[in-house]
Amino acid sequence: MQKRKLGTSNLEVSALGLGCMGMSFSYGAAKDKKEMIALIRTAVDRGITLFDTAEVYGPFSNEELVGEALAPVRDSVVIATKFGFRLNPDGSPGWQGLDSRPEHIKQAIEGSLKRLQTDVIDLYYQHRVDPDVPIEDVAGAVKDLIQAGKVRHFGLSEPGVQTIRRAHAVQPVTALQNEYSLWWRRPEEEVIPTLEELGIGLVPYSPLGKGFLTGKIDEHTHLGANDFRSTLPRFQPEAMKANWALVDLLKTIAKKKNATPAQIALAWLLAQKPWIVPIPGTTKLSRLDENIGAAAIDLTPADRIDIETAAAHIPVQGARYPERLEQMTGR
């Protein structure tokens, strides 16, 4: 597996990471813990070094899973987790709101360190920007944690560009985690140019469109009530039917490259910038190997032009989030 550096930092990771959320949260029932530990360890064996989780995934259970799986190889991997939600006191799924007060961050880190069975978090993201807490205070709190040796790198997720600049002025931001894929390209407008200017890496989550760009989901797929995609406008049957044109495009390119649609979607992201590290999630070994195969696909500039020209003529239908969740992005 090739390596990449996130921006101009010294944080080097595998070209593809592994998003671990779906192993215990959000995409239906939690998967078998032993199987997921085996999958994470296989990912390490295959050369993946960046593993992504968050305290809200579960809550807590995903960090515990990742911590147990990576404990034997802790020194050779990079663990990223996130803070910023006020969780339910009884530990039930969901959250009560955002909370990035410095005192809350310094409580949250202790729980994450314990669950992840480590004494330092490699990359600590603010999960969503808290409008009630100045970002300078958030960056300052993480700076304190870095000086205390509990965190190595600071990250943000789904912020607006002014927030990025303000945070970066207090504590350099190593990486931004945003949704970015062929069916969500808004980061190209302002965010990616800002990251390039400041030397910040980009870690795209949902690089396969929450599974849609694999071609394995269509308007006939039943998404259970415990699958959060069932609440997303973009995953309603009519929207999926309209958006299938994007999958057809990926299939056409994939056929020419002897690849799969998922591999082309990931290879396209990797070809955008050398400091972009997608984190596709999976719970299946076959999909893990398929995703890893994307790193070996060489898309020429002409290939990219073909893909982007064709994609520009496909208007994606449906919002990516319900309004309540979309309001938590771009602040």
Return d(Cα 158, Cα 34) in angstroms, integer.
32
Return d(Cα 141, Cα 297) in angstroms, integer.
41
Q: Beta partners for 95?
A: 87
Helix, strand, or coil here: 81? strand
**Phi (first) and psi of residue 153, to 5 degrees:** -140, 150
- Evaluate the omega torsion of the peptide bond into residue 59 and state whether it is cis, within 30 degrees of 0: yes
One DSSP character per residue, 300-330 reads -HHHHHHHHHHHHTSPPPS-SS-HHHHTTS-
Return d(Cα 331, Cα 329) in angstroms, integer.
6
Task: Please list the alpha-helical segments (H only) found in the chain.
Answer: 33-45, 61-70, 102-115, 135-147, 161-170, 191-198, 237-257, 261-272, 285-293, 301-312, 323-326
The pair of three-digit structure tokens given for residue 278, joined into one six-digit string: 């997608």
C-beta of residue 204 within 8 angstroms of C-beta of residue 269: yes
Q: Write the single-letter amino acid at 11.
A: L
Q: Which of 27, 57, 124, 205 is catalytic?
A: 57
Phi-psi region of 199 (alpha: psi -120 to 50; beta: other; left: phi over 0): left
57 is catalytic: yes
How distant, in Å, are the alpha carbons of 89, 198, 301 from that of 92?
Answer: 8, 39, 48
Catalytic positions, please? Answer: 57
